[in-house]
Amino acid sequence: MKAFDLAIIGAGPAGISAAIEAAALGASVALIEENPVPGGKVFGHMNDHLKDAMPDRFEKRIGSQLLQRLDSVMDRVSVFLESEVWTVWDQWIVAIHQKGTSGDQVRSIRAGKLIISIGAFERIVPFQGWTLPGIFSVGGLNSLTKRGIVPGEKILITGSGPLQLVLAHHLINAGAGIIGMVNAASPQDIAARGLQLLSNMNGSVLASGVNHLFAIKRQRIPTYFSHAISMADGSHQVERVVIVRVDRTGRPIKGTEREIVTDCVAYGYGLIPSCEVTRLCGCNHIFDDQLGYWKVQLSEKMETSKAGVFVAGDCRLVKGYSAAIEEGKIAAVEACVQLGYTNRKTADSMLRASRRRLRRFKRFARAMECISRPGPGLLDIISDDTVICRCEEVTMKDIRSAVAEGAGDVNDIKRRTRLGMGHCQGRFCGQVINELIWKMTGIPQKREIFTARIPVKPVPFGVLAKV
Amino acid sequence: MEQENTFEIEVNGQKVRAQRGQTIAEALLAGGLRIFRKTRNDVPRGFYCGMGVCYECRMIVNGIPNVRTCMTPATPGCKVSTQNESMMKAEA
């Protein structure tokens, strides 16, 4: 088994930044990425000739700088591409499922320290018809648009969060037709957080934001504040949707429904951290009541409750690429202190500026996340026929029956209905299942999360048999 | 040697143009295809999260099932077909 000082899981902005810093201090580094290229969702597409489709200058500049710096330390970094971590064994053996032209293989590496930087994914509130082809996550449609692909002519952007603006701007640049923007927040909610946002912005975020807003303003796109998508319909793909006015708590207001004809819908309520690998490692997690998601507990040194396991980037708190780059650096330098490649004094002086910038990014991110978080009343849009678990096609009705039969917690629901047992391993349905049980029983119980199981990502049996 | 920037892939027996650097999913969506798989209840599904989390874009690629097309580069001549899981259940 190959051994490294440091294994970094996820080669997005945080992971790449960590690899650069650790390699520069002399550590041997394994950088593991499931995609064919490093860069993550924000910079991963910059490696090829399609990169000119990217309109955001700031993003482009920071991304190319980061990828160039990674190139300059490649002699000290072993990059494993198309490689998924399916489990982590204690102290620390990382099990990798690597795809390749000569077939899949599994291998394991040993690492002195771990940095987990696996990013974030879409926050959802299921609605009837959300599984129809043509309904994309906001991030999913954004990644296509950045690559010059616009899969529709009448595009409706729904949900909440800053990524909506980024997507709208990218679509406008691609010459796409946006027929409307639907936002669950009210203008008052957004204004209330505006000051908090402005006082914590850095130059490039502010410039990007203003740039996006002006581009959207010029297009005179119909905008529906305090509205949410509640239903989608179509025979083989989305053909029309219903949007409804919602009150301050997110509750739909009867009689305010309106139908919109569309062939492409982006849908999502911001992003939430991906915490399945830290859960698998046995790190402590807490539920952040203000932001409405689970997150791993970290020390100031970005270390989890498990000694030697560090976390960086959006898989702790969703903050975007600039903050992820700072966190990657902090986690790597702290890991290198423990490994003996640098000392406390040097580390502190290396990290002073990063720590200061990060504090501001975090305040900004919290305010942004509070705007994105849908109110609890929005769960009222879920009808009996709404699919809650896409993978196993478990509906609200199935959950209702299970609760009536006595299912009392999320793992019990999982055993009875197969909710959360499919390919995505409960990443989407797991976000709402607590609230749905509480709603049905009328009793808010302990907040729970599915037990993280091996493998965290599906691995074919035939591949495992070769271990 | 200069590589060709566009090439053909085969999707359910039909030729679809792909660009070098594109994933299979990107080539399919650019070519107007929306349905990537059918669930065991025969319900159509397509590209959703675009980042390897949801597995909705899984298809049969060169004979291998459950390949996430959003993360798999298109290669000249690769053969892609809709993954019909209601049929897969019947065969099993």
- Answer yes or no: do A324 and A423 share one domain: no
Nearest-CB residue to A50 (from B19, B35, B44)? B19
- Answer yes or no: do A260 and A277 share one domain: no
State yes or no: pLDDT of B86 exceeds 50.
yes
For A238, which residue in chain B has the nearest alpha carbon? B34
Domain region containing A418: 382-441
- Answer yes or no: do A285 and A214 share one domain: no
Q: Distance, in angstroms, between A51 CA and closest chain B CA?
A: 10
Give the span between the Cα atoms of A187 and A192, in whole angstroms.
9
A330 within domain boundaries: yes
Task: Show the domains of chain B with their CATH numbers.
Answer: 6-91 (3.10.20.440)
- Put simply, the chain A residues between 88 and 147 with a CB less than 8 A from any chain B CB are 121-122, 131-137, 139-144, 147
Reading the block at residue A164, the tokens are 């909506």
- Answer yes or no: do A245 and A294 share one domain: no
Instruction: Give whole-number Cα distances, A368 to A163, A320, A356, A363, in Å.
Output: 10, 11, 19, 9
State yes or no: pLDDT of A287 exceeds 70.
yes
Q: pLDDT, tens digit, for every residue of A33-43?
A: 999 999 999 88
Residue whose structure tokens are 């640049």: A173
Give the span between the Cα atoms of A44 and A34, in whole angstroms.
11
- Answer yes or no: do A151 and A262 share one domain: yes
At A200 the pLDDT is 66
Give the span between the Cα atoms of A284 and A327, in whole angstroms.
19
Chain A residues near residue B84 by CB distance under 8 angstroms: none
State yes or no: pLDDT of B92 exceeds 50.
no
At A217 the pLDDT is 83
- Which one of A241, A269, A297 terminates a domain? A269
Entry pTM: 0.94
Verify whether the Cβ–Cβ distance A144 to B26 is below 8 Å.
yes
At A59 the pLDDT is 82
Instruction: Give whole-number Cα distances, B72 to A99, A314, A412, B7, B57, in Å.
Output: 10, 24, 36, 16, 11
Please give the ipTM for the structure prediction: 0.94
Contact criterion met (CB below 8 Å) for A140 and B49: yes
State yes or no: pLDDT of A47 exceeds 70.
no
- Answer yes or no: do A131 and A232 share one domain: yes
Helix or strand or coil: residue A268? strand
Q: Which long-range contacts (CB under 8 A, 24 or more apart) does A403-408 make?
A: A403/A437, A403/A440, A403/A441, A407/A437, A408/A437, A408/A441, A408/A445
State yes or no: pLDDT of B41 exceeds 90.
yes
How many distinct structural domains can be found in chain A? 3
- Answer yes or no: do A410 and A333 share one domain: no
**Class of residue A357 by CB neighbours under 10 A (exposed 0-12, middle 13-18, buried 19+):** middle
Q: What is the pLDDT confidence band of residue A382, given thresholds at 50, 70 and 90? A: very high
Q: How many CB atoms lie within 10 A of CB B27?
A: 25
> Which residue of B54, B71, B88 to mutate against A (max A Cβ within 10 Å)?
B54
State yes or no: pLDDT of A49 exceeds 60.
no
Q: How many CB atoms lie within 10 A of CB A288?
A: 15
- Whole-number mean pLDDT of chain A? 92
State yes or no: pLDDT of B1 exceeds 80.
no
Q: Distance, in angstroms, between B52 CA and closest chain A CA?
A: 8
State yes or no: pLDDT of A323 exceeds 50.
yes
- Answer yes or no: do A292 and A205 share one domain: no
- Answer yes or no: do A143 and A174 share one domain: yes
